[in-house]
Amino acid sequence: MHVSELAVGASNIVSPLCYTVLRLEPYTACPFGCVYCYSRWYMRGNSGGLHPRYGVVDAFRDLARRVRRRGLRPVPLRLATLVDPFPPGEHLYRITERLLSVALELEYPLVVNTKSVGYRSGGVARKLETLLDRGLAVLQVSLSTLDPSKARYSSP
């Protein structure tokens, strides 16, 4: 198992807003490049652009199987912390969709963090919806705007 595929190394860089340091990063870069995002300087050395991280699927499958085999309660993994799991190339590479398939197959919980609308289409949407219906996922969607009137939230 490739543990480095699943955990953020011990450092002071991990965001205090993420309740777990266990994460799945399906790609090497984030297409959004938000000025406020800590991943921009965390991944500073990676200037090769967006590439799929195929090894993360097998690492996740290995971990989920080991947890299941040992009868342990799974700790939810965050999908993702440093990149968006639904970049424009997801429809070609399908790394995130494959991670969702493993989560469904092995009933492993995920926290899905995105600012993309890619979670709403095709097989990704169906798999994510099934995970949500089974209580195996939490979906966090970030919305950004420079318009203060749009940034206000009022509950119904």
Q: How buried is residue 93: exposed, middle or buried, by Cβ count under 10 Å (0-12/13-18/19+)? A: middle
pTM of the model: 0.80
Please give the Cα distance from 137 to 134 (Å, whole number): 8
pLDDT of 116 higher than 70: yes
pLDDT score for 36: 67
- Residue range 51-96, pLDDT digits in tens: 899 999 999 999 999 999 999 999 899 998 778 899 988 999 999 9
Radius of gyration of the chain from its Cα atoms, rounded to whole angstroms: 16
Residue 54 token pair: 């195929």
Better-scored residue on pLDDT, 16 or 149: 149
Q: In sequence order, what E strands does the chain have?
A: 77-79, 110-114, 137-141
Look at residue 140 and tell me whether its pLDDT is greater than 60.
yes
pLDDT band at residue 5 under the 50/70/90 scheme: low
Distance (Å, rounded) from C-alpha 59 to C-alpha 146? 39
Q: Are 128 and 112 in contact (CB under 8 A)?
A: yes
